[in-house]
Structure 1
Amino acid sequence: MDLLSIIKKICGQIIVPKAVIEELKTGGDQGVDVPDLSLYDWIEVKEPLATSAVSLIQDLGRGETEVLLLALESPGSFVILDDNLARVYAELNSIPVIGTCGLLLKAKSDGLLPQVSPILDKLEKKGFFISPEFKQLVIRMAHE
């Protein structure tokens, strides 16, 4: 949706684990419209130091697990996660979390987006799940 630059403006430094890059590549190979993060010089690709710990978390994908491990290795950072279970793990480990909807609301409040609701509609068309109740809550929070 060509909105990655908004993440840079909100978050500053972005570190993406190698596993997420691999997941995006797999999605792209399967025809899913995903960004090529190698085109963005402000995104750093990094592997967690404790890669052996990835296998300890059985119920998360490798990408979510590596995101959490990198956050634990980088005090003061926060993670962008939408997966509910990954968010629970983050909260249990005192890792601040924001999701896609939170980023959209922040972008609107910072004047980076005129509206949130059309983006939510586009995300849903691309397969992003958001419950009708939560979507309405986000739209109300955006004052739309």
Structure 2
Amino acid sequence: MSIMRDVLCNTSPLLYLHQLGRLELLPDLYQRITIPKAVAHELREGMRLGHAVPRVEDLPWLAVEEVEHASLLRLVADLDAGEREVLALAAGRPASLLLLDDGQARRYATMLGLTFTGTLGVLLRAKQRGFLDRVSPCLDRLQALGFRIAPALRASVLKLAGEPPG
């Protein structure tokens, strides 16, 4: 029997999976996701500005938490508030899994010894678990949405998914 780990999420995986029409993959794969208040604020602000973002209140599997020590990370000026808070939340839960896409946030997560994946990792796991038939159409759509995927990374994801490159 496996122990369920906390899954903490930044804004971009929620945003991109919503725009793909695949937000349900998160509760399918992880049951419950926790976000810090700053991520909830970023989503609400995106909605206010007219962007295609999920409504936090419509996601019963999403928990919003206050982050007590986020001020310690204010010194990290190259991260936005959501990234700082999700890292602060994870620092207090070292066995958690972080969902984040930002390269700089991932570098800090590595320095803190935290485990992470991102939108592509969620799609790959969904394919491996039978929730997705193919990953490549999702990658095409992500790239059309402006999600940057290096050619080598795309090839690697497709290979891990057992799909032909292209």
Aligned counterparts of 1:123 and 1:46: Cα–Cα separation in 2:
28
For 2:67 and 2:100, locate their aligned partners in 1 and report how far apart those are by CA, in whole Å.
17
Question: Unmatched 5+ residue regions in structure 2?
Answer: 1-19
Question: Does the CA contact (< 8 Å) of 2:70 and 2:84 recur in 1?
Answer: no
Other-structure match for 1:33: 52
* CA distance in 1 between partners of 2:154 and 2:47 (Å): 27
**SS of 1:90's equivalent?**
helix
Q: Which contiguous aligned blocks of 4+ residues in structure 1 show a shift greater than 4 angstroms?
A: none
Does structure 1 residue 110 correspond to structure 2 residue 129?
yes
Alignment of 1:1-144 (within 5 A): 1-144=20-163
Q: Deviations over 1:59-111 (max 9, x none)?
A: 11111110101111223111001101100110111110111111111110000
Using CA pairs below 8 Å that are at least 6 residues apart, which structure has the higher relative contact order?
2
User: With structure 1 as the length reference, what TM-score do the two structures score?
Assistant: 0.92
RMSD: 1.4
Aligned residues: 144
1:87 maps to a residue whose letter is: R
Structure 1 runs not aligned, ≥5 long: none
